[in-house]
């Protein structure tokens, strides 16, 4: 199928509009949908919005000192979302400050306020749902706080594990970036990096002092392409993954078939049932400190003392149930079934 043929041009243009709709965003928000995984969204943020020595505040939802391990075991480290975003920002030259919280919790609003008052930050990043702990961040309150305390700081949300299953009102909450990937709650095969940028973020990009610091991730290259497809005209920078964008179009239409609020309510209801069963019937503990800070699209469970994951997972798998073995280096092995 041609990537400049009319049928595809229509599907791509429409997908950009539908993506905006899934995030409850107004027309001035700029979508980017490019070939890559969620991680490419970090590179887009770092290379287009940050310049050398810009300050970035990275909020962690439950990670403790991976850095020690980084020095000793560089090859064994897997990715943790706040840490990896911080690492990506640093590679592009930003000065990163990390605000950490113990596993299972998140930095408090007063800690965030204190940090925002201590320095002028160009961007603040939040992982909406931390996939390694199941902790949900209150992005609405954090955005509100940022606007009050440090109005020009861009609020960047890693929504890879939340877009499609958690409430996000991009424009009403005044967010600047939400980035995600195709393969989680959007239900599309992996291979697409999706990002929505506010007009405030686009202004920061257009007012850069120096050139953007990536070639493939450059918004200077991609903005005209996205604008062209949205006005149903083909334009070439690098070949889009045509079949994935068809799949995205189908999925976004399924998501928007009925009111988004109903879909999110179903996710929440399903998740509460899982959590009730895990906690009340099985008597196990979930990772987040409270239900209010728990994700609605995933549940992270502590395995009981004495139970070996390596023995448990194959038994669960033999019942046709697939569990992830855990992501967080401090508290799990990477075993997957």
Residues that bind ligand PLP (CB under 6 A): 37-39, 81, 127, 131, 158, 160-161, 181
Task: Report the nearest approach of ligand PLP to the CB of residue 13 (Å).
Answer: 24
Task: Report the nearest approach of ligand PLP to the CB of residue 39 (Å).
Answer: 3
Beta carbon nearer to ligand PLP, 83 or 230:
83
Task: Report the nearest approach of ligand PLP to the CB of residue 86 (Å).
Answer: 12
Beta carbon nearer to ligand PLP, 161 or 248:
161
Task: Report the nearest approach of ligand PLP to the CB of residue 194 (Å).
Answer: 10
Beta carbon nearer to ligand PLP, 29 or 160:
160
Task: Report the nearest approach of ligand PLP to the CB of residue 128 (Å).
Answer: 7
Residue with tokens 């980084």: 70
Beta carbon nearer to ligand PLP, 178 or 202:
178
Q: What are phi and psi of 245, to 5 degrees?
A: -70, -35
Beta carbon nearer to ligand PLP, 156 or 225:
156
Beta carbon nearer to ligand PLP, 113 or 330:
330
Structure tokens at 210: 């120096």
Q: Distance of CA 322 to CAs 184, 312, 318, 319, 325, Å?
A: 15, 12, 9, 9, 9
Structure tokens at 224: 């005209």
Of the candidates 13, 33, 18, which has an alpha carbon nearest to the alpha carbon of residue 193?
33
Of the candidates 27, 49, 13, which has an alpha carbon nearest to the alpha carbon of residue 170?
27
d(CA 132, CA 326): 7
Task: Report the nearest approach of ligand PLP to the CB of residue 180 (Å).
Answer: 8
Residue nearest to ligand PLP (CB): 38
Task: Report the nearest approach of ligand PLP to the CB of residue 85 (Å).
Answer: 8
Task: Report the nearest approach of ligand PLP to the CB of residue 80 (Å).
Answer: 9
Structure tokens at 201: 């973020």
Beta carbon nearer to ligand PLP, 150 or 251:
251
Beta carbon nearer to ligand PLP, 9 or 186:
186
């Amino acid at each position: 199928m041609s990537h400049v043929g009319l049928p595809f041009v229509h599907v791509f243009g429409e997908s950009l509009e539908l993506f905006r709709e899934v995030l409850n965003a107004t027309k001035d928000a700029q979508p980017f949908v490019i070939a890559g995984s969620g991680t490419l969204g970090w590179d887009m943020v770092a290379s287009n919005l940050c310049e050398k020595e810009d300050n970035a505040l990275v909020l962690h939802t439950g990670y403790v000192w991976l850095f020690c391990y980084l020095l000793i075991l560089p090859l064994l480290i897997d990715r943790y979302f706040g840490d990896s975003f911080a690492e990506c920002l640093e590679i592009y030259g930003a000065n990163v400050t990390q605000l950490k919280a113990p596993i299972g919790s998140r930095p408090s609003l007063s800690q965030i306020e204190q940090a925002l008052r201590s320095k002028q930050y160009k961007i603040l990043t939040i992982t909406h749902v931390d996939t390694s702990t199941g902790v949900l961040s209150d992005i609405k309150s954090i955005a509100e706080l940022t606007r009050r305390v440090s109005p020009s700081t861009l609020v960047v949300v890693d929504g890879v594990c939340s877009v499609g299953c958690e409430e996000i009102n991009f424009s009403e909450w005044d967010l600047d970036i939400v980035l995600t990937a195709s393969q989680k709650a959007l239900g599309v095969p992996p291979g697409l990096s999706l990002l929505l940028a506010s007009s405030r973020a686009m202004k920061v990009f257009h007012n850069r002092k120096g050139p953007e610091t990536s070639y493939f991730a450059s918004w200077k290259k991609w903005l005209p392409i996205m604008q062209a497809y949205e006005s149903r005209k083909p334009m070439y920078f690098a070949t889009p993954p045509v079949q994935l964008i068809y799949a995205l179009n189908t999925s976004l239409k399924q998501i928007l078939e009925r009111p988004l609020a109903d879909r999110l309510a179903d996710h929440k209801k399903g998740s509460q049932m899982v959590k009730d069963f895990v906690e009340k019937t099985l008597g196990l503990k979930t990772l987040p400190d409270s239900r209010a800070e728990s994700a609605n699209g995933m549940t992270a469970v502590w395995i009981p003392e004495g139970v070996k994951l390596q023995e448990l997972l194959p038994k669960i798998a033999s019942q046709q149930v697939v569990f992830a073995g855990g992501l967080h280096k401090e508290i799990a092995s990477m075993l997957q079934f």
